[in-house]
Structure 1
């Protein structure tokens, strides 16, 4: 009889500790997401104001704004789904390498082996996106028992669903 109250107390303490731990982890999670999103927005605004102050905008500057846009989208997707889309990280890397390539060629005006290396890296990242997209469509992380839905069912499928 005396063991029952101790076991209930242990379960209550365990449940309280787990709930408190989840609260702290989720609070840190959201705080970090808001901080990253805010810093990204702040950096984009500062970069944009620098471009306006400079009086002209280059392709390099536009690609920098695209990097900020992709980082903001990545934070938004992670906030909504709690999943980090690896493809967005690869997109950011491709945009950064493209920015580096354009900047290098426009400032040095001479192609060298570095251009080939950066172009090869962009190609490898593009292939990585292809692999990730194929793998995620072929082997989804969340398995469902329902059959896959067609995007545009024909009249025959609609008639079968109504029956």
Structure 2
């Protein structure tokens, strides 16, 4: 009874870990947060989900990171920003809501391309894979893999119990 309960909890734990892994996105990839980088192109190649993180790497003596609204983003207006993300040049912000986010650097650097807009989505749960029908009395290959995995889990539980 205890082993069955433990196996069920382990299976639930494994599924929840797989579906809750957050991603750290380095803004601008290797170029970081600097002038004359095409952040629209960078963000077009990324998928952002609630719970992910953005990492801004920059020289804090010259640049900063401000979260702004869409109008301020479009006009490179650094007045009345929503949030100053700047802390020390390696700044991280968690994406906590499914919505568009807008960031720019003040001091005129926005006009040199230091702005990025991203759209954050709710993570989608992948549907369970369909099982293939049994042919010639042999189980499908993914059923064999699941049995092997369950055996290994059972063995580990029995060994440490």
Same fold, judged at TM 0.5 (above): no
Tell me the TM-score normalized by structure 2.
Answer: 0.27
Structure showing the higher helix proportion among its residues:
1
TM-score, normalised relative to structure 1: 0.27
Ranked by relative contact order (alpha carbons within 8 Å, sequence separation 6 or more), the top structure is 2
